[in-house]
Amino acid sequence: MTSGIHLPLGKDKKPPRQRKNRLTAGRALSLVAILALGGLSGYAYLRPDNLERPVPAASEQKNGEEPAADPAIDVAAADKQAEQQDKLRRSRPKDGATIERQVMDDGHVVTKYSPKRRDGEGPVIIDADASNPQSRDEAAYPDDALLEDGPEGRLPIVAADGTRPFDRYARPWSGARGTRIAIVISGLGLSQTGTQRALRTLPEEITVAFAANGNSLSRWMPEARQGGHEVLLQVPLEPFNYPDNDPGPLTLLTGSSPEKNLDRLYRSMGKMTNYTGIMNYLGGRFLADPAALEPVMRDIGNRGLLFLDDGSSAQSLSATYAKAFTMPHAFADLVIDENVSKGEILAKLDELERIAARNGTAIGVGSAFDETVDAVTEWAGEASRRGIEIVGVSALADVPN
């Protein structure tokens, strides 16, 4: 017998045994049963509880009967579950939100959150980006969402969605960053013929300010707004030489209590609607008095209004409080009609144009004298041909975020 060591490498291996791989009928049936059982178990585990069941075809329903309610859709349970989820989502239980729920056909609950209207209590929801100016067709009508009724009349407020009167009643502009100038003609409402002439003569780009001590403001405001003008309310404030120089019965005084000054402010505000902000009439002493000015500026800011300072008082603190209360604010660069002469006013307008060329923007203020109205109308037509955009004063306001 030959030893294996003398055989070539690998020649001593025995041939592999052939495995029998036959699947009997019994084994096949067992495998199918196992797979079927596993599939059913997985389906039962993964199937959602509220999976929609098929509705019987119309031919299978009895005549005149509605399809039977799906027992898998429990509306009360779904609403309760949504309410529990609401509690988890809301970090503050008194967040001032109105919650509306609607159960859909498939059983899902849609929850809608919207801010409640302000009533003096609770938080104020502000959207600094809210901006939707009125269309020309609507401009003569007040937005009820921006008004509250009070003993003094309808006063401006911030809407529930954060829109301010400053946003809603602002005059739209191009958005271009060229040279821009705003002209404000004040004192409308004091003279019927002067007011009518100003509104019929001035270009629509000119901002107009109605005096709170004027007459028939609610009559003149719609005409101004339909004419395309942005509107301000001019409130009388105590000057340094008061009472020798008395701005009128609604004048806010440094010697009055905050409550009395706010009452007079509200009586002025209630005389008309659709204005973007407040402009001072005189007021050198009042604007320089912190105790008197602070509550008034706070209230104006809380109502979503602009404050335009006519720039006549170097001691004015209006910008300081406007920044503190994050409210829109603007300063006039020039009074254009200190000398009521058309030639002098045109010279001031040229000076205003030079300021705008240097700084990019400028604001001029004047009164509704015939000479001022004529000079501004003539200058505005020429300025537009020189590439100057005349905008509403709101477009040039400093608006803190």
Write out the chain's pLDDT in tens, 401 residues. 444 444 444 445 455 555 545 555 556 555 655 665 555 555 544 454 444 444 444 444 444 444 444 444 454 555 555 454 444 333 333 344 455 556 666 665 555 545 544 444 444 443 333 457 888 889 999 999 999 999 999 999 999 999 999 999 999 999 888 999 999 999 999 999 999 999 999 999 999 999 999 999 999 999 999 999 999 999 999 999 999 999 999 999 999 999 999 999 999 999 999 999 999 999 999 999 999 999 999 999 999 999 999 999 999 999 999 999 999 999 999 999 999 999 999 999 999 999 999 999 999 999 999 999 999 999 999 998 999 999 999 999 999 86
CA distance 177 to 172: 14
What residues does each domain of the chain span? 75-115, 144-396
Classify residue 345 by burial, with Cβ atoms within 10 Å: 0-12, 13-18, 19+: buried
pLDDT score of 109: 57
Closest CA to 123 of 90, 100, 147, 101: 90
| Six-digit token string for 293 | 């000015």
pLDDT score of 176: 87
> Is there a cis peptide before residue 56, judged by omega within 30 degrees of 0?
no
Alpha helices in 140-187, H assignment, sequence order: 165-168
CB 319: neighbour CB atoms within 10 A?
14
The single-letter code of the amino acid at 361 is T
pLDDT score of 28: 56
pLDDT score of 1: 47
Which residue is listed with tokens 């100003």? Answer: 198
What is the phi/psi pair of residue 248, to 5°?
135, 175
Give the relative orientation of helices 370-385 and 192-201 as an angle to the nearest 10 degrees. Answer: 10
Return the CATH number of 144-396, one of 3.30.70.260, 1.10.340.30, 3.20.20.370, 3.40.50.11930.
Answer: 3.20.20.370
Q: 287 CB contacts (<8 Å, ≥6 apart)?
A: 237, 280, 293, 309, 313, 315, 316, 317, 318
pLDDT score of 275: 98
CA distance 124 to 311: 32
| Six-digit token string for 202 | 């001035």
* DSSP β-bridge partners for residue 114: 98
Which H or E run contains 223?
helix 217-226
The single-letter code of the amino acid at 66 is E
Task: Annotate 184-215 with DSSP letters as a single string.
Answer: EEEEETS-HHHHHHHHHHS-TTSEEEEETTSS
Q: Are 340 and 369 in contact (CB under 8 A)?
A: yes
pLDDT score of 231: 98
CA distance 6 to 8: 7
